[in-house]
Structure 1
Amino acid sequence: MSFIRTVLGDIPSAQAGITYAHEHLIIEESFPTLANPDFRLNDVDKVSAELTQVYAAGGRTMVDTMPANCGRNVQKLAEVSRRTGIQIVAPTGIHLEQYYPLSHWRYQYSEDQLTRLFIADVVDGIDRFDYNGPFVERTSHKAGMIKLATGDDPISPHQERIFRAVVNTHRETGVPILTHSNAGRHALAQAELFDKLGGDLSHVVISHVDRNKDVSYHRELLKTGVRVEFDSAFRWKKGEENWTYRLLEMLLPDFPGQITAGWMPPAAPTGNPMVVRRA
């Protein structure tokens, strides 16, 4: 049985409609917002007002991509979903190291501990405190995907531990994987590591890759079977060629079902890898 796990419950994949595959709808006050106050997006009224407009324009599903303990607030995501009708997928997993203090538990937990924490988010429900305190109080709102991130440097041993825990969770629960790549860097290395660890590459989405202009690299990456995410159409400067559109023109004919979208023109076709393959 396949379905999409949203914060308000599981839905059939046919119900997804137009889906934005990478958004940051809620970012609560947290370690990332200490250094970047503009990251804070925690006003439910304002977020709901914007998403009401999205719904009116035809949008139906959004994937929030703020994973565990770096600004995630699943209760606010659920409230926004109730108010707007937008179906929201919440993540578990771990973001870039820069969004956590050096003393964070991500560096202390074993592969098994990380795996059990991620699985609990998917199966039992996300902690309403988002692992900010000594008590865990699981809500009814479950994670529908799992995220990890790599930066500009090669994949580190610590990040490999995160990869293993993420793939363990993916294999145990069927939950799909979404990754952060800095401007597409190490996207192929991510795909190769997922394949080595036994991940289903058709349920892996690698984000931000359209900031990489190397078409041959994109083709090599897509041939692995992963999905890629184009979400940078708005980033190209005035007078500069929009490489997001250019890449779509060159790649869609050969890989029509493997390109997903964050912010994208309404006509851009997208696959929907946010499907959980089994309960």
Structure 2
Amino acid sequence: MSKKFFRTILGDTSSTEMGLTYSHEHIIIDDGYVTGKHPEFLLNDVAKISEELGHFYQAGGRTVVDAMPANTGRNILKSVDVSKRSGVQIIQTTGIHLEQYYPENHWLYAYTEDELTRLFIADVEEGIDEFDYSGPFVKRTAHKAGLIKLATDDNPFTKHQEKIFRAVVNTHLETGVPILTHTNFGRQALEQAKLFEKLGAKLDHVVLSHVDRAKSVDYNRAVLDVGVRVEYDSAFRWKKDEPNHTLNLLEVILPAYPDQITLGMDMAKNAYWKSYGGSPGLNYLIEIIPNFLKSKGIEVYYKNLFFENPKHLYSFS
């Protein structure tokens, strides 16, 4: 094993083997509380998901981040099946999502900072629970989390969210696991970045998602200037009668911050998957980004976006 490695659900792998990487996806979202509220999020058909990931592999894709954290629909055994069928390496996530994806009486509110930290560390170092913490029993598998997540909404951070921040950073510093976050349309991204800096996180292993939804070049620059990484995933979401703010940001910002930007699709809705009869499908970025970069004379940064930046970001620090 080389000094730098990333942790997939099938085991630790040399970072040199990461290959073309999508930095924020949703591969398995099994039936449960989240899909009960949002049936459009149901992604649990192993055959369909394996088919789409197989096409991704054939197009050159090698690794995806599954950004569903603890008790939000993870099914680690289905994920393992999909990875083996498709050949695609999956980095699975621990941590906590937005409050709206949990019942009001959920354990995440009752657990202390130390208890949450120990739970997250167990996902990273021992193995993910077969039942995703949905029942009274925990049956740890051999398949470990290689990333830890937190999420904030449009409002200033609550005391509860600050507790999650501390538990996530505690886990990150103790295990070396990288950090990924959710921002709502990029809101509170700057505040997230500054809090991670204050808590002593290794900022080159921290990535904030959806920041392209903020649209503003100046705001994205301010976030990047703190030293964190950002992940853009809305290239296919902009309406036809408005600018493609994701591509605009890449054109302007990528040359100035070549080592800090990653891309993904964030296809949490089954209607985005071709194998479910939807569009645009997982291969969208592979199909459009190289031509876009070439049209702007910045094709030299292609490897940064899909290879070099994920390879550094998702390696254990």
Q: TM-score, normalised by structure 1?
A: 0.98
40, 60, 70: which is aligned to 2:42?
40
- What's the CA shift string for 1:238-274, capped at 9, x where partnerless? 1211010000011011100100000334424411111
1:213 and 1:117 mapped to 2: Cα distance? 36
Q: Which amino acid aligns with 2:48?
A: K
Q: Which amino acid aligns with 2:314?
A: M
My pick for the range that moved more, 160-169 or 9-18, is 9-18
How far is 1:56 from its partner?
0.4
Gaps of at least 5 residues in structure 2 are 266-284, 291-301
How far is 1:214 from its partner?
1.4
2:289 and 2:242 mapped to 1: Cα distance? 22
Q: Which amino acid aligns with 2:244?
A: N
- What's the CA shift string for 1:16-60, capped at 9, x where partnerless? 111000000100011111111111100101100111000000100
2:68 and 2:47 mapped to 1: Cα distance? 19
Q: Which amino acid aligns with 2:234?
A: S
Matched with 1:60 is: 62
Matched with 1:6 is: 8
Matches within 5 A, 1:244-259: 244-259=246-261
Give every structure 1 segment of 4 or more consecutive aligned residues whose post-TM-superposition deviation is greater than 4 Å.
none
Matched with 1:143 is: 145
Matched with 1:262 is: 264
Gaps of at least 5 residues in structure 1 are none
Matched with 2:188 is: 186
Matched with 1:114 is: 116
How far is 1:217 from its partner?
1.0
Matched with 2:198 is: 196
- What's the CA shift string for 1:223-249, capped at 9, x where partnerless? 111000010000100121101000001
Q: TM-score, normalised by structure 2?
A: 0.86
Matched with 2:238 is: 236
Distance 1:266 1:18, change over 3 A: farther
26, 29, 33: which is aligned to 1:27?
29
1:181 and 1:201 mapped to 2: Cα distance? 16
1:274 and 1:106 mapped to 2: Cα distance? 25
How far is 1:2 from its partner?
1.8
- What's the CA shift string for 1:57-87, capped at 9, x where partnerless? 0100000000000111111111100011000
My pick for the range that moved more, 179-188 or 259-268, is 259-268
Matched with 1:275 is: 315
**Number of residue-to-residue matches in the alignment:** 277
2:132 and 2:145 mapped to 1: Cα distance? 12
Matched with 1:224 is: 226
1:134 and 1:253 mapped to 2: Cα distance? 51
Matched with 1:98 is: 100
SS in 2 for 1:183: coil
1:44 and 1:73 mapped to 2: Cα distance? 11
1:249 and 1:49 mapped to 2: Cα distance? 33
Q: Over the residues paired in the alignment, what is the CA RMSD in angstroms?
A: 0.8
Matched with 1:168 is: 170
1:201 and 1:241 mapped to 2: Cα distance? 31
- What's the CA shift string for 1:93-115, capped at 9, x where partnerless? 00000000001000000000000
157, 161, 164: which is aligned to 1:155?
157
SS in 1 for 2:62: strand
- What's the CA shift string for 1:208-230, capped at 9, x where partnerless? 00011211111111111100001
When you count helix as a share of all residues, which structure comes out higher? 2
